[in-house]
């Protein structure tokens, strides 16, 4: 049921995540970060998330691009659940209609 | 108990002020004991304040569980990941990039980058934890997620403004944090169990759930166009690398160029 490489990956993920959780408390609590370091750390999660989904933005399927555009608009005004529902139905419907 | 004290302080400024001053003079062990009298209610207050956020998390947890199964993870593996790592954004990124066998270094590095925001969050919370022993702080920080951090910090600031010591209520924080933890682990597991009923996610458009979740998460991080410029750099670089370079290098290339852009742009300001 548990693959060795999968287990190793999960344990290492958990380890680095815990380090990020205690790191700020242990290392940064008596220091002030430079404005630059703050800017870089503030931008990091967004940079990673957008990079992971970047392939969707250059999809060769017109249905997928349209569905992504619909999802993007939904994400700017709605909360998580409606956005996911709209995104999933738009993708399903447009793929069915346009192919 | 503490909640009752707060209302008294607010209603009777004269005597309440004296109480608050005495409160400030209390040693930390006395304060913790005093808070301990109302521990059940503090914990429940934490759970209750977390409830609205919790309902929003459920669909997102179900989607993650279902997608993980489609990528070949067993239910036990998925539960281990969400239970040990307990950081949704990084788990979505890991599942999106998951292969069999997984690229260990890539996934661990991405996990670190997505969760690097915890460093800032922990630093912001640190002044409020100064009077707590480390043996309590270290386990409590395991449960620090965006939601429990935001609730705990906002509550501590409110209590500090009302003159309550200690400002940070560990039991309130743990109520919110444990509610999030239980919901996250159980609903991701449920998603994995329900996954076979959903079939191939691509057919119905379920794969669009990933961009949808990520875009909503990024909307939550939005602080203005200027701060979002590094994201645009990441998007363009990642897309180009994806189109022209084989493999999963596009994530690392996009993330690193965005960080470099953030570094350079911060110099302008």
pLDDT at B28: 41
Place of tokens 């709209």: A86
Residue B11 has pLDDT above 80, yes or no: no
Task: Find tokens 């159980």 and name the residue.
Answer: B186
> What is the arithmetic mean of pLDDT over A35-51?
84
Cβ neighbours for A52, distance < 8 A, ≥ 6 positions apart: B92, B93, B96, B97, B110, B210, B214, B238, B251
- Other CB atoms within a 10 A radius of the CB of residue B199 amount to 11
Judge contact between B84 and A2, C-beta under 8 A.
no
Is the pLDDT at B100 greater than 70, yes or no?
A: yes
Q: How far is CA B266 from the centre of its chain?
A: 26
Give contacts of B90 with chain A, Cβ < 8 Å.
Answer: 13, 17
| Residue A95 counted as domain residue | yes
The pTM (predicted TM-score) of the whole model is: 0.71
Q: What is the pLDDT of residue B5?
A: 33
Q: B203-239: per-residue pLDDT in tens?
A: 677 778 778 878 988 888 788 888 899 999 999 999 9
Q: Which domain holds residue A86?
A: 50-99
CB contact under 8 A, B141 and A28: no
- Cα of A16 to nearest chain B Cα, Å: 6
CB contact under 8 A, B218 and A86: no
A57 interaction partners in chain B (CB closer than 8 Å): 235, 239
| Domain membership flag for residue A9 | no
Q: Under a CB-based contact definition with an 8 Å cutoff, are residues B215 and B182 in contact? A: no
The mean pLDDT of chain B is 81
For the stretch A3-12, pLDDT in tens is: 899 999 999 9
Is A57 part of a structural domain of the chain?
A: yes
Return the pLDDT at B31: 43
CB < 8 Å to A18, chain B: 141-142
Residue A4 lies in a domain: no
The structural domain count of chain A equals 1
Average pLDDT over residues A86-98: 92
pLDDT of residue B38: 64
Mean pLDDT of B33-48: 74
Query: Residues with Cβ < 8 Å from B252, sequence gap 6 or more?
Result: A51, B106, B109, B110
- Asked if residue B266 has pLDDT above 90, the reply is no
Q: Are B169 and B35 in contact (CB under 8 A)?
A: yes
Give the pLDDT score at B33: 41
pLDDT at residue A80 greater than cutoff 70: yes
CB B262 within 8 A of CB A40: yes
Tell me how far apart the alpha carbons of residues B219 and A77 are, in angstroms, rounded to a whole number: 9
Q: CA angle B176-B180-B183, nearest 5°?
A: 140
CB A20 within 8 A of CB B108: no
Rounded Cα distance, A86 and A99, in Å: 18
pLDDT for B209 equals 79
Assess whether pLDDT exceeds 90 at residue A67. yes
Spatial distance between the Cα atoms of B251 and B116, rounded to a whole number of angstroms: 16
DSSP code of residue A78: S
* Residue-level pLDDT at B201: 54
Q: Lowest mean pLDDT of A28-42, B93-107, B214-228, name the range.
A: A28-42
How far away is chain A from the Cα of B9, in angstroms, using its nearest Cα? 31
**Helix locations, B74-164, DSSP H:** 75-84, 88-96, 104-115, 117-129, 134-142, 146-161
pLDDT of B63 over the 60 cut: yes
Place A69 in a pLDDT band, splitting at 50, 70 and 90: very high
Q: Which of A22, A54, A87 sits opposite B141 (nearest CB)?
A: A22
pLDDT the model gives residue B198: 67
pLDDT of B30 reads 42
- Where does residue A89 rank: exposed (0-12), middle (13-18), buried (19+ CB within 10 A)? middle
Would you list the DSSP string of B145-214?
-HHHHHHHHHHHHHHHHTT-SSSS-HHHHHHHHHHHHHHHHHHHHHHHHHHHHH--HHHHTGGGHHHHHH
Q: What percent of chain B has pLDDT over 90?
A: 43
**Do the chains contact at B230 and A47, CB–CB below 8 Å?**
yes
- Greater model confidence, A98 or A65: A65
Q: Is the pLDDT of residue B9 over 90?
A: no
CB B93 within 8 A of CB B110: yes
Residue B157 confidence (pLDDT): 85
What's the DSSP call for residue B143?
T
Chain A residue numbers touching B85 (CB-CB < 8 A):
10, 13-14, 17
- Looking at the predicted structure, is the pLDDT value of residue B249 above 50? yes
A-B Cβ pairs (cutoff 8 Å, strict):
305
Domain membership flag for residue A23: no
**pLDDT, position A20:** 94
Nearest to A23 among B86, B119, B124 (CB): B119
For position B222, what pLDDT does the model report?
86
Average pLDDT over residues B63-84: 94
Indicate the range of A62-71, B149-158, B179-188 predicted with least confidence: B149-158
Closest by Cβ to A57, choosing from B73, B112, B235: B235
- Given an 8 Å threshold on Cβ–Cβ distance, is B238 in contact with A50? yes
Contacts of B263 in chain A (CB under 8 A): 36, 39-40
What pLDDT is recorded for position A29? 67
Using a CB-CB distance cutoff of 8 angstroms, which residues of chain B are in contact with residue A67? 205, 208
Q: Which of B213, B145, B156, B150 is nearest to B180 (CA)?
A: B145
Least confident of B83-92, B160-169, B195-204: B195-204
Dihedral angle, C-alpha B126, B131, B135, B140, nearest 10 °: -50
């Amino acid at each position: 049921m548990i693959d060795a490489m999968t287990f190793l990956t999960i344990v290492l993920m958990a380890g680095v995540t815990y380090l990020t959780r205690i790191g700020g408390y242990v290392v940064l609590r008596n220091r002030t970060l430079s404005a630059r370091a703050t800017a870089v750390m503030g931008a990091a999660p967004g940079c990673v998330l957008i990079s992971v989904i970047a392939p969707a933005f250059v999809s060769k399927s017109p249905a997928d691009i349209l569905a992504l555009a619909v999802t993007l608009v939904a994400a700017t005004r709605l909360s998580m659940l409606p956005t996911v529902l709209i995104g999933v139905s738009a993708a399903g419907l447009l793929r069915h209609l346009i192919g | 108990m503490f909640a009752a004290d707060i209302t008294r302080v607010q209603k009777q400024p004269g005597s309440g002020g004296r109480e608050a001053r005495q409160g400030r003079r209390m040693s930390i062990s006395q304060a913790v004991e005093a808070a301990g009298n109302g521990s059940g209610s503090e914990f429940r207050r934490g759970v209750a304040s977390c409830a609205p956020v919790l309902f929003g998390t459920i669909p997102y947890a179900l989607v993650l569980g279902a997608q993980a199964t489609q990528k070949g993870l067993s239910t036990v593996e998925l539960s281990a990941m969400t239970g040990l790592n307990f950081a949704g954004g990084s788990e979505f990124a890991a599942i999106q990039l998951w292969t069999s066998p997984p690229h260990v270094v890539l996934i661990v590095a991405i996990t670190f980058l997505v969760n690097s925001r915890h460093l800032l969050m922990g630093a912001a919370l640190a002044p409020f934890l100064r009077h707590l022993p480390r043996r309590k702080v270290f386990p409590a920080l395991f449960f620090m997620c965006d939601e429990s951090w935001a609730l705990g910090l906002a509550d501590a600031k409110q209590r500090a403004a009302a003159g309550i010591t200690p400002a940070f209520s560990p039991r309130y924080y743990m109520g919110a944090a444990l509610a999030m933890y239980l919901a996250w682990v159980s609903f991701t597991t449920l998603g994995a169990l329900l996954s076979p009923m959903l079939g191939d996610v691509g057919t119905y458009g379920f794969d669009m759930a990933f961009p949808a979740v990520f875009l909503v998460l990024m909307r939550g991080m939005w602080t203005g166009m200027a701060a979002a410029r590094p994201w645009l750099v990441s998007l363009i670089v990642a897309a180009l690398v994806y189109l022209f370079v084989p493999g999963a290098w596009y994530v690392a290339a996009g993330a690193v160029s965005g960080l470099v852009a953030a570094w350079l742009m911060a110099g302008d300001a």
